[in-house]
Amino acid sequence: RALDAEVDAAEALVEAAEALEPALDAEVDADDALVEAAEALEPALDAEADADDALESALDADVDADDALLEAADALEPALDADVDADDALESALDAEVDAAEALVEAAEALEPALDAEVDADDALVEAAEALEPALDAEVEADDALAEAADALEPALEADVDADDALVEAADALELALER
């Protein structure tokens, strides 16, 4: 009986093993499929690794570019400060020019009454000169008349000189006669 029981158990074990065989075959097939899938994934994994490397390189390049940009910004800072200073100086110069122009306008406005007074004085001078013209004409005519009178007196003056000379000669002759 014990041997029969052992035989029965062995047969049951064989049946169980036979029943497990399809499952084992399925597991082997699954393992093969998993290996094939892993092999199929390998190029994708390699591509991902390459992409990661490229990304890392791009990030490094971006960091380098950022550093270069910061250095350029630092180098530009003095130039930007100088540009701001130049703008401030230009603004100050423009303000000074506006102030000077306003002062010039004010000076011109202040001069306007003096210019008007000068014009009025010039007008009065012209009027006075026009008023003096008849008197000047009369003076010229009087000078002409005086010249004519002088010309008319010249013979009489010459005659008076001649008479004086004759009187002197007569006085000299009389003096000689008296001395004798």
- Domain range annotation of the chain: 3-128
What 3-state DSSP class applies to 36?
helix
Report, as an integer, the average pLDDT of 45-71: 95
Q: pTM surpassing 0.75?
A: no
Please give the Cα distance from 143 to 133 (Å, whole number): 15
Please give the Cα distance from 151 to 169 (Å, whole number): 28
Strand boundaries in 70-165, DSSP class E: none
pLDDT in tens, 95-120: 999 999 999 999 999 999 999 999 99
Please give the Cα distance from 70 to 74 (Å, whole number): 6
